[in-house]
Chains A and B, each alone.
Chain A
């Protein structure tokens, strides 16, 4: 199950401190875009936007990326 958006794991996910291993290109493009965005702008405002976007992504695609959601939930 996708953790609530207020869960601290999302900060770790978007800043790359919690690596997500995936064979799915769609997931890896999302993770890569987060990494690039954080490298360009690590402000709290941008991080908040990244968390919202990443939470929405895994909520929308939970059914096809269960392994990745499981990694986030653990």
Chain B
């Protein structure tokens, strides 16, 4: 039997050969690179930034492949729009997990981010993946997309998924690596879910959030950190509009969550290295955030030994920001 393609950066021709050999793949690459691939059992999304074995790198002619192991029982590709996104959890195998890619700035991403926690199957059917993007200097000019290799569709308004059924002796575990901790500033709450914020509650009193950020001179390169029973979930800033007095975020805030501004991090690469060094096993898939790459100046720097795409949003059950996500396929029984 031929050796399977390894989970790392490959040339287009190497990925073409793997698809032709019948491999199931979850792919990240530029639109130009992904457009050269034949139809097959794969899905992917546009991204040109990667954590490689040599460190952070930008490439338009290589593709990061995540190979699906031989022991899986079944792999199914699927695509979803805003109208049928909840079906994602119905289609997901009872015992397994789902790889998901969604285009940045799309309605389907907004729906997923705001509605996934309310869907039947949330947390029970693990969903892991990322948000596709474009070159940082082409944001607003080029369009992020996802690819359904089964149909050949290139989609800017749909999500693509690989549903993967596992044997009974394996289980999928999702993990997040967050280098940010809540700071010691005010606790901030929001009364409704959303990416677009005007008012918040501080000490129970309504305050305009944009005004608060400006008055306190808070650095928005660091995220808001939400407290979920002790786990820190980040929400990153897209824009603070001082004229409209509004704040746009890269993920929604939710009511019932205590948020604080993060403690500043000086050296992102070192911070990731310290956290990852404590892990005993290599992950089966990982991705990291473009904001960590840009703000942390990670080009050429390693984030521990972890490799994977650097993305416009990370998914571990729900949409995350400025976070590394990892998937482990554990032995059980």
Contact = CB atoms under 8 A, between A and B. Distances in A.
A29 B231 contact: yes
Interface string B278-304: 000000000000000000000000000
B176 A25 contact: yes
B124 A63 contact: no
Given A29-B317, A30-B123, A57-B124, A63 B332 contact: yes
15 contacts: A22-B230, A23-B230, A24-B175, A25-B175, A25-B176, A26-B126, A26-B174, A26-B317, A29-B228, A29-B317, A33-B117, A35-B229, A39-B256, A40-B256, A57-B124
Q: Is the interface of A mostly helix, strand, loop or mixed?
A: helix
Q: How large is the interface on B (under 10, 10 to 19, 20 to 34, 35 or more residues)?
A: 20 to 34
Interface of B: 117, 123-124, 126, 171, 173-176, 228-231, 233, 255-257, 316-318, 330, 332-333
B322 to A, nearest CB: 14
A64 B230 contact: no
Contacts of A70: none
Contact of A31 (B124, B175, B229, B318): B229
A46 interface: no
Interface in A25-45: 25-33, 35-36, 39-40
Contacts of A26: 123, 126, 173-174, 316-317
Contact of B330 (A25, A28, A39, A64): A64
Interface of A: 20-33, 35-36, 39-40, 56-57, 60-61, 63-64
Contacts of A21: 230
Contacts of A28: 228-231
A41 to B, nearest CB: 12
A16 to B, nearest CB: 9
B254 to A, nearest CB: 8
Nearest to A60: B124
